[in-house]
Amino acid sequence: MRSGTATRLPLDRPARSLARRGRALGVALALGALLASGATMTLAPDNAGAVYLAYSGGDLLKLDLASGALTTVTTGLGNLRGVAVAGASAYITNFDGMLQQVDLATGSRRTLAAGLPSLSA
């Protein structure tokens, strides 16, 4: 005789775990590719689940930790050496002694200071 209750297989937890592993692998591969290119990289987290990467190639990248998506915020920033995130802006230092503010939503930037000694963080 059959019971009226259905048996539910515990598939939800392993499926989520595999999805997380897939995202983690994607993130690791993206970061590995940047590092393999010989780039010097600095990282800065925001409060919304993303990490911003500034690397010596002159690009500011956004890594969404939930999805693993890596996107370009802006390019052509020079020989980058440091990044900090505060609110809706990233503050970028470069080896040539420039401090820039980048709007994270639009990618627009403005120079806050130039002619400083070589900045490294």
Q: Which domain holds residue 74?
A: 12-113
Determine the pLDDT at residue 33: 65
Determine the pLDDT at residue 20: 52
Tell me the C-alpha distance between 84 and 63, whole Å.
Answer: 14
Count other Cβ atoms within 10 Å, centred on residue 68. 18
Determine the pLDDT at residue 54: 86
Please indicate, yes or no, if residue 54 is contained in any of the structural domains: yes
CATH number, domain at 78? Answer: 2.40.10.480
94-101: long-range contacts, CB 8 A cutoff, minimum separation 24: 94/119, 95/56, 95/119, 95/120
3-state secondary structure of 57: coil
Determine the pLDDT at residue 100: 94
Q: Which of 108, 111, 114, 90 is nearest to 100 (CA)?
A: 111
Please indicate, yes or no, if residue 27 is contained in any of the structural domains: yes
| Predicted TM-score (pTM) of this structure | 0.68
Please indicate, yes or no, if residue 1 is contained in any of the structural domains: no
Tell me the C-alpha distance between 111 and 9, whole Å.
Answer: 57
Contact (CB, 8 A) for 59 and 77: yes
Total number of domains constituting the chain: 1
Please indicate, yes or no, if residue 5 is contained in any of the structural domains: no
Please indicate, yes or no, if residue 63 is contained in any of the structural domains: yes
**Structural Rg of the chain based on CA atoms:** 20
Please indicate, yes or no, if residue 97 is contained in any of the structural domains: yes
Write b or e for each residue in 27-57: b if 16 or more Cβ atoms lie within 10 A of its Cβ, otherwise e: beebbeebeeeebebbebebeeebbbbbbbb
Determine the pLDDT at residue 112: 94
Please indicate, yes or no, if residue 62 is contained in any of the structural domains: yes
Please indicate, yes or no, if residue 67 is contained in any of the structural domains: yes
Determine the pLDDT at residue 103: 96
Determine the pLDDT at residue 95: 83
Q: Provide the residue-wise pLDDT of the chain in tens; the chain has 121 residues.
A: 444 444 444 444 444 444 555 566 666 666 666 666 666 678 788 888 888 988 777 889 898 888 878 889 999 988 888 899 999 999 998 888 899 999 999 999 999 999 888 766 5
